[in-house]
Structures are given as structure tokens and as C-alpha cells.
A and B are shown apart, each in its own frame.
Chain A
Amino acid sequence: MRRRLVDYFDRRSRPAPDLLADETFDRIARTLEESGFIKVTPPARYCYVVARFVLLEDIRAHRRSVPFDEARLTVRPGMPAAEAEDGTSQSLDCLSRCLDRLKPADRSLIVEYYRDAKRERINRRRSLAERLGITMNALGIRAWRLRASLQACVDACRKRA
């Protein structure tokens, strides 16, 4: 849920999506403390409703505080995402290590799924799904999860280094 909320705030171009997601959870936690339950079903909808309030408040607060020449800020400091561009060779090294750390079946899947992105991708993915006996969508989700875990592994590796 946190990831969904962060993505939501990020898509709405808020400068600190992580903080807004945390603020959303804080408010939900306060409600739970006070009333002991959430009336809205499914509870995820309640998360969205609270997140929407947090978003609107942030937009208003941002207007009041006058953006710091925002248009000229290529990437603002203090934002977790800017770490993307950290040392390239270190990043590649970490990526290679993280790939090697995957279970052989997972590594094989991710390599087969994403390799040669420019050509014959659909056919290759279709035959991969057939071999594994799963649908293309299930395959896509499995590959996406592996890729997300790789990205997390690379982030952790770079922090350690």
C-alpha cells in the first residue's frame, strides 16, 4: 500500500511523495487508535480518501510557500530518487552482483523475459509463458517483481558501497 501511495503522489508531481505517504499512514493510524476500526470498505479505499486529502493540503501548502524557482530545478536535493544517477560503474557492478545472486530459475526467467528489448519480445515472452504454464499477465507480474527486487538489491548494494 505504501508503494501505491508513493506512486500516486509522485504521479501527481508532489515533490516529497514518500513524506506524503507517511503522513497518510499517520492519519490512518490515528483514526484506528481513536475508533479501533475503519468503516469504509475495502479499507484500501479509505487509504485513498485520506491520501486525496493529504494531496490537496500539500498542493495548497505548496502554493502558499512559493516554490523555490521550481522550474529551474533540474532535480531537487534531498529527494530520494536523485540517487538514480549515482556512480555508474558502481551501479553496474551492483547490478551484475544482484543478478548473480538470483536463484538460477529466476535469473533465467528475467534474462529471457527482458533480453533484446527491441526485437521479437512478444513471441519470446509468449513461448516463455507457455513453457512455464502460466499466462502472459502472470509472467509479466512475476518478471516485474523480480525486476523490482533487483532494483531494491542494487539500491542496497550502492548504499553499502
Chain B
Amino acid sequence: MMLRREPARDDDELIRYLLGELTDDQAESLDERSVVDDDFVARLRLIEEDLVDAYATGRLAGDRRTRFESFYLSSPRRLKRAVFAQRFLAAVDNAARDSPAPAGHGRAARWLPLTIAAAVVLSIGSGWMLVRDARLRTDLHETQQRLADADRQTARLFGELAQRTATAAPAPAQTAAPSVALVLLPQTRGSSVPPILAVGVESSTVTIELAVAALDRSPYQATLRDPATNSVLWRSDDLTARRAEPAPLVTVTVPAASLKAQHYSLELFTRRNGRTGDFVGGYPFQVLRP
């Protein structure tokens, strides 16, 4: 494939395109090329990859970072790409430490097999296993550290993102509506992928709104379930649905302390005479914490 690398000025235009900063007219001509022009598609992918990697490694700053978070990460597909980038780069760095020198390094590469063989012979009977075991333990520990660092970085970024989203969200209309972190729809057969809830360290409660089919089944009770153990972790008091478009909503305020970084399911039931009534729906979600 022929691929011309155009000047950096054009790279900047592509970055602005990826960040949704171009006018409709400007974007449209690039839209067409992004479907029709092989060279352009390849170049766009490389620019996008660099952009995502820059964000994942904390090299994206200022307005561009803000725009990346407000626009680029607003799409679940692109969010997925960014999360993958972070884990991928951490894994690659980790693998790089254990990789031998790349092939084609002249004499060093030719002598490498002999050196290894000599090392193996010399090590026999000299406590090699003990040394190796110690080294493996160290490597394992370092690997775990790196992966944990990558996870912490992921969680931190999601926390920051949640905080920015909350700051940027429009002010609630007149009434003191709770600050809603997430609106959930009932799980359907086709929707196996849970939405994400980023919980900041300072949050004491998290407000989630559950969409229901009808207003007239109140009161409800929500239970928080750990799908891994199937245990109920928390139950709400009686809840009432309120009118909203396009569907009524039930507001659930969950203590943040109940939520760790894992999958959960909120299950909504009707209440009849102080007892649990019909199952209304399950609302799976995933929690990320900094």
C-alpha cells in the first residue's frame, strides 16, 4: 500500500477531525476519504493510535486532553480503544523487559545462542535453581506492580473523567434533583455489556436512576447484588417512580462504601404490604474506582 505521509499541519487537521473540532463542511470531505481512500484510512488510523496512546500514557495535556475526554471518550467504542491502549502499552513495556535483543544486531546476535548455552552449562550444579527461582519471584512481583500501576492509572483517568463529566453537566432544573451518576435501562437479552459507573474517592453516595415501564407500580425496592456470589449486598427503602420522558424513573441512592471496582446488578422489585412483590428488572453495571 502506498502511503504518503503528509505534513504535520495536516496531522493536526486529522487530530481535530478525530476530536470533532472541524466544521461540518470540513469534516464531510474527510468523512468521504475515511471510507473511500485507502491511504487516508491508514494514515488516519496511525494518527488516531498516536492520539490514544498519548492520552493513555498521560502525554496529552491542556485543551486537547479536555477535548479528548469530552468528545473522543464519549463514544463507548473509542473509550474501549483508550482502555485497551493503556493495558496494551503496560503489557508491552512489561514484555519488553523480558525480550531478548532484537534480531539483526550483528555480532551480539550471532553470539547470543552460544552465550546462553555456556550460561546453562556453567549453572548446572551451582545453585542455579535457587537463583532462578529468586529472579522469577522478583520478575513476578515487578510484573504485578506494573499491571497494578496500569490499573490504578486507568481507574484514576476514569475518576477524573467522571468528575469532569459531572462538572460539565447542565445544572439541574430548579428543583434540587440528586446528582445522577448514571441512568440505567432494564437489561434485555441483547444487552450483555454493562455500563460503567466511575465512583470518585470522595463520593459517599451514588445516585442511579432506573428506567421502568410504568408509574403505577410504586412503591419499589432496589437490591444491590454481587453477580459473582449472587449475594445481596444492600437493599433500599421504599422507592417511588417519578414521571420522566420517555420512561418513568426510579431514583436509587446507593452508599458508595458498598461499591468496589467490580460488576454489580441492581434488581428492582415491587413492594406489596411491606413485602417483596414482583421482579421488575435487572440493571447490571460495572464500577470503576480510582
Q: Which residues of A contact B (CB under 8 A)?
A: 1, 4-8, 10-13, 17, 42, 44-45, 47-48, 51-52, 65-66, 68-69, 71-88, 91-92, 95-96, 99, 105, 107-108, 110-112, 114-118, 128, 131, 135-138, 140-141, 144, 147, 150-151, 154
Say whether A4 contacts B41, CB under 8 Å: yes
Task: Tell me the minimal C-beta distance from B150 to chain A in angstroms.
Answer: 8
Task: Tell me the minimal C-beta distance from A156 to chain B in angstroms.
Answer: 13
* Chain B contacts for A151, CB-based, 8 A: 81, 84, 88
Say whether B96 contacts A112, CB under 8 Å: yes
Q: In whole angstroms, what is the CA distance A140 to B46 when docked?
A: 7
Near A by CB (< 8 A), chain B positions 269-290 give: 284, 286, 288
Say whether B35 contacts A44, CB under 8 Å: yes
Say whether A79 contacts B76, CB under 8 Å: yes
Task: Tell me the minimal C-beta distance from B203 to chain A in angstroms.
Answer: 14
- Which residue of B17, B36, B59, B194 is within 8 Å of A77 (Cβ)? B194
Interface size class of B (residues with CB under 8 A): 35 or more
Q: In whole angstroms, what is the CA distance A87 to B83 when docked?
A: 12
Residue of B nearest to A94 (CB): B87
Task: Tell me the minimal C-beta distance from A113 to chain B in angstroms.
Answer: 8
* Chain B contacts for A99, CB-based, 8 A: 91-92, 95
Residue of A nearest to B32 (CB): A48
Task: Tell me the minimal C-beta distance from A96 to chain B in angstroms.
Answer: 6
Is B9 in the interface zone, CB < 8 Å from A? no
* Chain A contacts for B262, CB-based, 8 A: 87
Say whether B79 contacts A66, CB under 8 Å: no
Task: Tell me the minimal C-beta distance from A80 to chain B in angstroms.
Answer: 6
Since A75-B76, A82-B193, A85-B79 are in contact, a sample of 20 more A-B pairs with Cβ atoms closer than 8 Å, ordered by chain A residue number, is A8-B34, A13-B75, A45-B36, A77-B193, A80-B77, A81-B80, A81-B193, A82-B194, A85-B196, A86-B286, A92-B147, A107-B95, A108-B99, A114-B53, A116-B96, A117-B89, A137-B5, A138-B3, A144-B46, A151-B81
Residue of A nearest to B103 (CB): A108
* Chain A contacts for B197, CB-based, 8 A: 74
**Chain A contact surface mostly:** helix
Say whether A76 contacts B103, CB under 8 Å: no
Say whether A91 contacts B87, CB under 8 Å: yes
Task: Tell me the minimal C-beta distance from A60 to chain B in angstroms.
Answer: 15
Say whether A141 contacts B99, CB under 8 Å: no
Q: In whole angstroms, what is the CA distance A4 to B197 when docked?
A: 29
Is B176 in the interface zone, CB < 8 Å from A? no
Say whether B59 contacts A72, CB under 8 Å: no
- Which residue of B42, B91, B182 is within 8 Å of A73 (Cβ)? B182
Say whether B3 contacts A81, CB under 8 Å: no
Say whether B151 contacts A88, CB under 8 Å: yes
Task: Tell me the minimal C-beta distance from B136 to chain A in angstroms.
Answer: 15
Near A by CB (< 8 A), chain B positions 73-114 give: 74-84, 87-89, 91-93, 95-96, 99, 102-104
Binary A-proximity of B32-54 (CB < 8 A = 1, otherwise 0): 10111000011101100100010
Q: In whole angstroms, what is the CA distance A131 to B101 when docked?
A: 13
Residue of A nearest to B284 (CB): A77
Task: Tell me the minimal C-beta distance from B254 to chain A in angstroms.
Answer: 15
Instruction: List the 9 shortest-distance A-B pairs measured between CB atoms, nearest first.
Output: A84-B80, A81-B76, A78-B191, A81-B77, A115-B96, A48-B35, A137-B3, A75-B195, A84-B83
Q: In whole angstroms, what is the CA distance A88 to B49 when docked?
A: 21
Q: In whole angstroms, what is the CA distance A90 to B137 when docked?
A: 21
* Chain B contacts for A138, CB-based, 8 A: 1, 3
